[in-house]
Amino acid sequence: MDFFLVTDIVVLVLQVLAITLNVITLFALYRIKKESISTRLVMYLTVTDFIHALLVSFYTLYLLVKWNPVRINMDPYIVMISAMPLTFQLKVNLILTIAIALDRVLALYVPVQYRMISSLKFVAVALVLATVFGICDLIIEFLLSPIVPKIDCAAVGCFVSPQFRSYWGTSNMILGLCIIVLTAFVLVKLHHMRVRARRSRTTNTSESSKLAQANRSSTSFLLSSLVCLTVPSVIVGGAELFGFSLFEYIGPFYLVGLLCASEFCN
């Protein structure tokens, strides 16, 4: 149970950092004159990460206050309700990350068709899908999970039903695998472009330099998300498929990954 306390303290520190860094990122994005699809998506993802870090603080503080070295006994209603921002934001983060990865894949592989895509429509569809899936997760969570006490466990994953954990873990794992595949396509294409540029020895134009910068920024974002959130989502989903719940051993596992992704991606 000491590990739960360590995890909770880490989460609290990460929340403070996430709020600070997201504010700085929003100011930086606001100053960008020409917005691309990726920039808009990153901006909206930063906004949702900032709101999530604020709202989920009630959940984190409750976990800290109720920690006990002998026996942990938390109110399931408070845990379930205060953790709603986590359930919602996890799906939003994954879907918006897929949208960013898909944007880079389209820009790199079909640049002519990509220029014909409406950035507003692309971003709007991504936001609507992310919001709908996030709300669906909350509805399914409360429909499948009877609110009952759970002794000696300090994470919302212990209070939800095995059916929801299986659904949640599997769906997040599938989305995580999509991010991995799309990121791999981006990395392969960028590698081929670098090799071709060395062979041709052409001088970089202003437009190509901007494109390279956009690709580097998006790739850094995708790799950070991959390490902090996507891979953990795949691990948790795989564990749930075999009936093994990580929440009972390491506490708010998803929250740590989500906050880390929020910080490193910024």
Residues 6 or more apart from 65 whose CB is under 8 A from it? none
Measured distance CA(71)–CA(68) in Å, rounded = 5
Q: How much is the average pLDDT of 124-133?
A: 96
Of the two residues 106 and 190, the one the predictor is more confident about is: 106
Closest by CA position to 140, among listed 176, 113, 166: 166
Q: What is the pLDDT of residue 131?
A: 96
Tabulate helix, strand, coil % of the chain (nearest 5): 80, 0, 20
Q: How much is the average pLDDT of 120-126?
A: 93
pLDDT band (50, 70, 90) for residue 123: very high
Query: Model confidence over 7-34: pLDDT tens digits?
Result: 777 777 777 877 887 788 778 777 775 6
Domains contained in the chain, number: 1
Joined tokens for residue 117: 């895509």
Residue 222 CB-half CA count within 13 A: 27
**Residues 69, 46 contacting (CB under 8 angstroms):** no
CATH number at residue 214: 1.20.1070.10
Measured distance CA(98)–CA(146) in Å, rounded = 32
Which range of residues forms the domain containing residue 173? 2-264
The pair phi, psi for residue 73, each rounded to 5°, is -140, 105
